[in-house]
Structure formats: C-alpha cells, structure tokens
C-alpha cells in the first residue's frame, strides 16, 4: 500500500477537526495509508509569510523534513499550505546556501531537509500519486444530473512557479469531477476570483464581498453546488445561498461513504443533491 505524510496545518484544528476525518476517509478510499506528521507546525501562510521569509522557510523546511524522516511525501489538502510549502521547497532546492543555513537550525532538533519529499495537494495527489485510473476505479456512486461548479481558489494556481496546473487554463479539477457523473458548470461569473478567506482577519467586509461573488455566479449559471478542493475556501464561502462542498466530501460519498459521515450536515448552507 502506498503511504503519504498528512500535513494537518490549521485546517484540522478546533471546530474544523472533522477535516481530518474527511481526509483520512478519502485516503482510505483511494487505498493510500496516511501517516500523520504529528510534530508539524503552522505553515505561516497569510501571516508570517508576509513579514519574514526566513522564518517561513525554517518552519516549512522542518515540516518537509518530518515527512522525509518517515520516508514519505507530504500531502496537504489546503491551498495556502500547499503554496507556502511548495515555495519553500523551490527556494531551498534552488539555493544551496539557504538550504545549508536552514539545516544548521534543523540540526538542533536532529532533523535535516534533504529535498527528497514531493509536495502534494488533493488535485495533484489524485492525478500524479494515486493515478486517474485507480481513482476512477474506486467510484461506486454517480451524481447523475447534478450540476457542479468547479472552484479552484487562488493558491494552487499561483504563483506560476509552484502552480500544480496551467494557471490560465486549469483542467485537473474538472477531470476529477467528471468521473462522478455530474454535469460541470464552467465559465460562470467570478469563477476565478478569490474567496477572501485571509481578508477575514483584516477586513471582514471585504471578505464578505469576495466570498459571495463566485457563489452568485455559479447560482446564476444554474449550478446545484460549488465544489472546491480547499478547506479554507469552503470555510470562507459556506453560509450563503449557494451550497459549497469540498471535493473530498463529494469523492467520499461517491466511493460509498454516507453523506452524514462525510460531514455534509455540518454545512451552514444545506446540500440538497442526490446520487445513485
């Protein structure tokens, strides 16, 4: 059985602890053993990243080193964590002096960043680690007739140097949703705008304005539900008129999990879609 290191970040904390169960259920359904990186720390995205790159490099070199210590690659379902950790890997792998400097610090804990672990998000985990054929073989139920609007969010497509798909014409989310039997709703208004999650700490009104725009666009285009791979986007956009689910919540149900066990019932905006 394949193994992958689960980086929890902040998305699995407090009221969002159910995201860990969603993730482990998803991995189990895909035949992958999740190895929790227990000693990992916050990636610093949206906070430390904006003020001190060296601290962020140290934090995330350590997170990657914890995966390397266990002999596994690193997987995070969070768009922001993916971006920050992938940027750290890129920086250290392209700058030997920076890598050596960071490793001097990690040595105090008996860790070493080697650069051997790959960084995965749900989208490229399915495409590149699990494999699309294996993924499709796990699907037991179809969302026939359900109109689903894909919503990537920002940080898996930007900046370009760590984007996991073509930033101008991404297709991986659509390719993952299509086997679920749904009808894709694409090209809707504000499809590519930001959810505003990080603005909730500095400008809550701006967050409200940003979060509702893609949802309104999807609703106007006839979508029954919006699907995002990012738990932060889900958190920012849940609670408005149009329902939104994490892609892994849809996948888990398509693979046999009861919607309640996929935590659909925790949505602020109720999800009323059927499957067969």
Per-residue confidence band for 211, with pLDDT thresholds at 50, 70 and 90: very high
- Distance between CA atoms of residues 62 and 106, nearest Å: 7
Q: What is the mean pLDDT of residues 69-92?
A: 97
- Distance between CA atoms of residues 147 and 197, nearest Å: 25
- Distance between CA atoms of residues 29 and 23, nearest Å: 10
Per-residue model confidence as pLDDT tens digits over 138-167: 999 999 999 999 999 999 999 999 999 999
Per-residue confidence band for 206, with pLDDT thresholds at 50, 70 and 90: confident
Per-residue confidence band for 43, with pLDDT thresholds at 50, 70 and 90: very high
Closest CA to 39 of 17, 58, 65: 65
- Distance between CA atoms of residues 237 and 197, nearest Å: 8
Q: What is the mean pLDDT of residues 86-91?
A: 98
Statement: residue 45 has pLDDT above 90? no
Closest CA to 184 of 194, 172, 196, 167: 172
Statement: residue 172 has pLDDT above 90? yes
């Amino acid at each position: 059985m394949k193994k992958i290191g689960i980086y929890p970040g902040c998305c699995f904390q407090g009221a969002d602890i159910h995201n860990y169960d969603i993730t482990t259920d998803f991995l189990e359904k895909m035949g992958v053993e999740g190895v929790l990186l227990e000693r990992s720390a916050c990636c610093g995205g949206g906070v430390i990243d904006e003020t001190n790159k060296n601290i962020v490099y140290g934090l995330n070199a350590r997170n990657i080193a914890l995966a390397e210590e266990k002999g596994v690659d690193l997987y995070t379902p969070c768009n922001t964590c993916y971006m920050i950790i992938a940027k750290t890997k890129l920086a250290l792998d392209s700058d030997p002096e920076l890598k050596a400097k960071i490793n001097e610090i990690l040595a105090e804990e008996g860790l070493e960043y080697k650069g051997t672990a790959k960084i995965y998000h749900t989208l490229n985990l399915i495409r590149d680690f699990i494999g699309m054929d294996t993924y499709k073989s796990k699907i037991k139920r179809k969302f026939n007739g359900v109109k689903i609007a894909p919503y990537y969010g920002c940080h898996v497509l930007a900046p370009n140097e760590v984007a996991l798909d073509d930033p101008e014409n991404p297709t991986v989310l659509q390719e993952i949703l299509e086997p679920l039997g749904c009808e894709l709703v694409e090209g809707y208004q504000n499809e590519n705008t930001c959810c505003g999650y990080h603005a909730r700490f500095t400008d809550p009104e701006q967050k409200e304005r940003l979060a509702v725009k893609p949802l309104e666009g999807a609703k106007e285009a006839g979508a029954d539900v919006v699907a995002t791979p990012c738990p932060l986007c889900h958190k920012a956009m849940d609670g408005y008129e149009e329902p939104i689910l994490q892609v892994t919540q849809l996948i888990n149900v398509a693979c046999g999990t009861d919607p309640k066990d996929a935590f659909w019932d925790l949505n602020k905006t109720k999800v009323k879609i059927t499957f067969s």
